[in-house]
Amino acid sequence: MNYAQNPQMLKAFALKPMLIILATSFANHALAQEPNTAIDLPSVAVTGNPLGVGSDELVVPVSVLSGRELSLKRESTLGDTLNGIPGVSATHFGPNSSRPIIRGLDAERVRIMQNGIGVLDASSLSFDHAVTIDPLVIEQIDVVRGPAALLYGGSAVGGVVNAIDHRIPTEKVEGVIGRAEARIGGADSQNNLAGVIDVGNGRIAIHGDAYTRKSSDLDIKGYAVSSRKSRTDGTLRENKGKLINSSADAEGGAIGASLTFDNGYLGTSYSGFRSNYGTVAEPTVRADMKSDRWDIASEFDELGSIVNRVKVRMAYTDYQHQELENGEVGTTFKNRGVEGSLEAGHAKIGDLEGILGFQFQNTSFEALGDEAFVGPVNTQSKALYVYEEMPLNLFDPQKFKLSFGGRAEHTTLDASPWAKSSTAQNSSFNAYSYALGGLYTLNPNWSFATNLSHNERAPSYFELYADGAHLATGQYEVGNPNFNKERSNGLDAQIRWKDGRNSFSVGAYYTRFGSFLGLLDTGDVDLDSDLPIAQFTAFAATFKGLEAEGKFNLVDNLYLTLRGDYVHATNRDNREALPRITPLRLGAGLHYQKNSLGARIDVLHAFNQSRTAPNELATNGYTDVSALVTYKLPTKVNLELFAKANNLLNQEIREHASFLKDISPAGERSVLVGLRADF
């Protein structure tokens, strides 16, 4: 990576060693007063409800990863970090590019945000494009499942993933707090180092973070090519034990500052992301990604008797992805854009409490080179949304809470002329979505939540205008500029139970699309590229499934965890299965923690997936056993040593949701060790 030609980035990334030195030097001073005390801030589910209530009071199903739990679960990508949460799987395009899938829905139907604003990268365009968020510096991840997340955009029909990094401090900081973490090992022989620090005097808060990540080609069980694929099309099984072209080298960092007050904050931040990684699908192609992002954010509450809270967020992103073929630039993808929102909370009107919001986005996408299968497109959207809650006096107001959300969005797409189209193409859509939900608390232990929603989504630029060879998916993809909106109706319900340190929830959902925009194999072959032709097509579809998780205290220091999920997706026009749907998964674990010692073992069994779409291969089941041991060192500084073992049974693990499942398995049995510090 040559930063000499870019002084701005050289200056930004020169902060990395300085931040790590600061974190180390302040740690002894900060912790000398309170030895062996970990700072593990409580999680706050900020994404599932704009009114900021706790997760037990949310109507929509939300999972939160934060603090020590997130630190010990981190993987190389956002998708793999979240994979295994009930209802969540991952695209797993090799070990370096993996985007979350929620309830069988991916790409434009899962909204990925950073601090409440879209990431504005190109990860939804192609599975080999990584998400421009590195889990090493994330402080909390909220996962909102289901279409009731409509407040965050029409693309949230599957759900929302919001990565929170606190790069703009939102609360007063007095003194120095932070964390640092180092890791080495694993099936990809990774070497990772990250540091996060916040410094403040009670009025001014300054944040800094930096990370570096390096990994080698992944060690795998057996051959990269599956035996099923080899038998089907004669592909040779070569390179036993190694996943060729799967190494990665990444680094990034950020600096931010805020003015903090008793009732709010005003802040800004800059962050940079760099990653160079092998694409796996093509042995001589590497992806060289960079993203620069500038954020501003402010929130104030206790403002008055009419408008009692105002929140403003805005981010500008400059993203570029270059595909290097034998070191030469083959194709360049660019996406520049701005997104923002203004949200105002009104004072209670009787028992009614809620917010009104305005959201906008303006992005310009461009692809240049051999694999530019989509032309230049400018996309603009503007939306008004509302969210309201109130106890329903028809019943006991302490037991029943009603919620309502609505969104009206106008989207325009302007596709300039390019090599495969002699005229410009323009599209305009008005989308209207709404959701009605309720939370009924039967008693202090039991509650029941349900949501009914209608969702409309404007087609994305690639669903409308794609026309070219897409080597990452091995298809010639063709869009349809005459598409109308994608429309769906959904219903989900959850039963929740909690008693002290014991809890569980069981949920079911059903989403019916009157017009689902899917990429289907046509059975034809493009003569120029010799690739199968896949056409974006509108058809009726249903997604239905089950989700469950529980945690039970067996004895004082030992917990049992249970989890499971199932998705059943069907093209209702021809009654065929939809492709890349994760099979039934069931899991269990034992977690032990006493004083300085912690240990856990987790088992996840994925069943065979033989319910496949036309021209899609089935996938064998697997049992993934992982283990973790942690030990807090007896030092003044709060240090914790940990060791993680993955795939203990050394099985051939292939994720059915992955486009590369038959040429890119997960890593073989491996051990990773790390050291983390909080101060």
DSSP 57: G
> In 3D, which of 73, 74, 95 has the Cα closest to residue 218?
95
Q: Which of 182-186, 205-209, 284-288, 325-329 has the lowest mean pLDDT?
A: 325-329
Side chain identity at residue 183, one-letter code = R
Q: Which amino acid is at 21?
A: I
**240 CB-contact burial (10 Å; exposed 0-12 / middle 13-18 / buried 19+):** exposed
Q: Can you tell me the distance from the alpha carbon of 479 to that of 537, in angstroms, rounded to the nearest whole number? A: 8
Q: Cα–chain-centroid distance for residue 378?
A: 24
- Residue 23: pLDDT over 60: no
**pLDDT band for position 235 (50/70/90)?**
very high
CB-side neighbour CA atoms (13 Å) of 212: 12
| HEC per residue, 471-531 | CCCCEEEECCCCCCCEEEEEEEEEEEEEECCEEEEEEEEEEEEEEEEEEEEEEEECCCCCC
pLDDT in tens, 276-291: 999 998 889 999 999 9
* CATH 2.40.170.20 for domain 7-678: yes
SS3 annotation, 263-286? CEEEEEEEEEEEEEEECCCCCCEE
CA–CA separation, 444 and 351 (whole Å): 22
CA 135 to the chain's CA centroid: 10
User: In this predicted structure, what is the pLDDT of residue 53?
Assistant: 62
Quick one: residue 444, left, alpha or beta (phi over 0 = left, psi -120 to 50 = alpha)?
Answer: alpha
In contact, 61 and 68? CB cutoff 8 Å: no
Q: Which two tokens stand for residue 14?
A: 């020169």
pLDDT at residue 423, as a whole number? 57
Q: What is the pLDDT of residue 9?
A: 39
pLDDT at position 533 is 92
Contact between 92 and 98 under an 8 Å Cβ cutoff? The reply is yes
- pLDDT band at residue 42 using 50, 70 and 90 as cut-offs: very low
Q: What is the pLDDT of residue 210?
A: 97
**Rounded Cα–Cα distance for residues 521 and 571 (Å):** 13
Q: Which of 601, 600, 596, 544 is nearest to 572 (CA)?
A: 544
C-alpha span between 526 and 524 (Å, rounded): 7
| Per-residue pLDDT, 370 | 76
pLDDT band, residue 197 (cuts 50/70/90): very high
- The burial of 365, by beta-carbon neighbours within 10 Å (0-12 exposed, 13-18 middle, 19 or more buried), is given as buried
456 within 8 A of 154, measured Cβ to Cβ? yes
- DSSP H or E run through 318: strand 307-325
Pairwise CA distance, residues 216 & 198, whole Å: 32
* Residue pair 64/55 in contact by the 8 Å Cβ criterion: yes
**pLDDT over threshold 90, residue 293:** yes
For residue 81, pLDDT beyond 80: yes
Residue 559 pLDDT level (bands cut at 50, 70, 90):
very high
For 447-469, the pLDDT digits (tens) are 999 999 999 999 999 999 998 88
Above 80 in pLDDT, residue 170?
yes
Rounded to the nearest 5°, which phi and psi values hold at 467? -165, 85
d(CA 271, CA 294): 7
Neighbours of 8 (CB within 10 A): 11
Better pLDDT: 440 or 17: 440
User: 């160079």: which residue's tokens?
Assistant: 276
d(CA 611, CA 439): 35
Q: Which residues contact 387 (CB under 8 A, 6 or more apart)?
A: 49, 50, 51, 151, 354, 355, 357, 403, 404, 405
In which region does residue 188 sit, left (phi positive, over 0), alpha (psi from -120 to 50) or beta (all else)? alpha
What does the alpha-carbon distance between residue 416 and residue 398 come to, in Å, rounded to a whole number?
56
* Contacts with 272 (C-beta within 8 Å, 6 or more apart), sequence order: 9, 12, 13, 252, 253, 254, 290, 291, 292, 293
- In this prediction, residue 337 has a pLDDT band, given cuts at 50, 70 and 90, of very high
3-state secondary structure of 181: strand
Q: Which residues contact 480 (CB under 8 A, 6 or more apart)?
A: 463, 464, 535, 536, 537, 538
Strand, coil or helix: 156? helix
- Amino acid (1-letter code) at residue 288: D
Contact 139, 165 (CB under 8 A): yes
Q: What letters, b where the CB count within 10 A reaches 16 and e where it falls short, cover 546-581?
A: bbbbbbeeeeeeebebebbbbbbbbbeeeeebbbbb
The confidence score (pLDDT) of residue 147 equals: 64
**Which DSSP string corresponds to 10-38?**
HHHHTHHHHHHHHHHHHHHHHHTTSTT--
Q: What is the pLDDT of residue 260?
A: 96
Identity at 241, one-letter amino acid code: G
Q: Please state, in angstroms and rounded to a whole number, the distance separating the CA atoms of residues 32 and 485.
A: 60
Average pLDDT, the chain: 88
Q: What is the pLDDT of residue 422?
A: 52
Q: How far apart are the first and last CA of the chain?
A: 32
What per-residue confidence (pLDDT) applies to 136? Answer: 92
- Could you report the per-residue pLDDT of 105-157, keeping only the tens digit for each? 998 899 999 999 999 998 988 888 999 999 999 999 999 887 666 778 777 88
Higher pLDDT, 304 or 411: 411
447: left (phi over 0), alpha (psi -120 to 50) or beta: beta
